[in-house]
Structure formats: structure tokens, C-alpha cells
Amino acid sequence: MALPKIQQPLFELKLPSTGKKVKFRPFTVREEKILLIAQESSDIDQVILSIKQIVNNCVEGVNVDQIAMFDLEYLLINLRARSVSNEIEFKIKDPETEETIELSLDINDVEIKKNKDHTNVIKITNDVSMTMAYPKIDQIRMLKDATEENKNDILFKMMVSCIDSVVDGEEVMRLKDFSEEEVDEFIDSLSTKHIGDIKKFFDTMPTLRYEKEYVREDGVKKKFVAEGTETFFI
């Protein structure tokens, strides 16, 4: 006689970037073990691997390497809410006084912040424009290796890697179809304004954000802010 197989319920949500509906199931013990390893690890590669395993196990029809980072973060908090609880009790230390503060977070209050001035199309000339793609988890990973000496160079490379295509009149050219030398030559031809527009794309793109006010023992009001995957690993 075989042990019964437990059927997990399926839930549905829309990805913020596209509105595409995806289905997911709650964690099982298998994913809880993976999550525990990620929470205890200081190795960013292990954390990313754990995130990918959890999403691949629990979410249907999603390539974790190809979705926008804020879509992934939105998936993660919804997985957490359905698998554990939408209420999370946790402690922080006030950065000024080192006082331990007890807080609670309702995952349902975590939301995608959108900027009305955001656009993924950057105009170069009347006929030429660039279409930007949102950074994926492996592109965000590039930033974790940044040091004081190379952080600007790594940030610039990450930004350039998110240029999806160049539109010239009716012609659409994907940058992945061109050599590194050709892409570098195109980037070098851009003006500082165009680079500023690329930076604006990143500064204004949707982000997952949670804010919570608290009062220290001395009566000073402060605000705790969690962004992105921080809301998942609290």
C-alpha cells in the first residue's frame, strides 16, 4: 500500500509588468527546507539558487530567468502569504540607537509602486528609439559583486544589458543579434542625455515596497522600509 499523495491547492495572480495570469501552489516541506537554507546563507549565489528552485517548483508556466525582478519579488511574497501567513512578526534594530523594535508586516499591504513618468521607450532621434527590458535576477546579481572601485562600471554594464532593441523606422534590431563590438560602438555614439534617459528608466521602474512607522523609546518617530526580496526574507 502506497502512502497518499497530498494535493496542494492552486492560486492565481497577475504579473505586474504584463498582466499575464500565472498559477502557483503553496510551499511544501521541500520548499521550506530550501527557504531555510537561503535565509541562513550569506552567499548571494545560494540565495539566488534557492529562489529559482522555489519558483520553479511552485509556479506554473514561468521561466524564472526571464521575468522582471519586480515580477519575481511579487511572486515570492504571494507564495509566502499563501504558504505561511500573510502576517509576519519580526524584529529590527534602530540604526541610530540600536534599540530592538518589534514590528508586524501584513503581506497584503506590500505593493508595487509605479511612477507615472516611467517609460521603457527612449527616443534617440525622430526615427530611432531604444526599447528597454526590465532587469532579471541574474542581471541584478551583477550588482552584488560591485566594489567601490568598479561599481560604476558594473552598473553601466547592467544598464546596457537591459537594452532590448533599437527601432530605426520600421526596422527592429535586437541587440543580442549583434557583436559586443557593434553594441559598444552604438553605445559610444549616444549622448549624455540618452544615458540619463536610460538611468531614468531604472530610477522610475516599478518596485516592491513596504513602509511601517514605529516609535522609539525616546518618542522619536521613525520609518522602516523594506524593498524587493527583503519583504520575502524578513
Least-confidence region, from 23-32, 95-104, 133-142, 222-231 = 222-231
Task: Look up residue 28 and give its amino acid.
Answer: T
| Confidence check: pLDDT of 15 > 60 | yes
Which pLDDT belongs to residue 204? 92
Task: Find, among 98, 93, 101, the residue nearest to 214 by Cα.
Answer: 101
Rounded CA gap, 205 and 134, in Å?
8
Q: Are 172 and 84 in a shared domain?
A: no
Q: Are 109 and 148 in a shared domain?
A: no
Has residue 216 been placed in a domain?
yes
How many domains is the chain partitioned into structurally? 2
Instruction: Record the pTM.
Output: 0.79
Q: What is the chain's mean pLDDT, rounded?
A: 86
Q: Are 188 and 216 in a shared domain?
A: no
Range of the domain at 229: 11-113+208-233
Has residue 6 been placed in a domain?
no
Confidence of residue 227 (pLDDT cuts 50, 70, 90): confident
Q: What percentage of the chain has pLDDT greater than the value 90?
A: 35
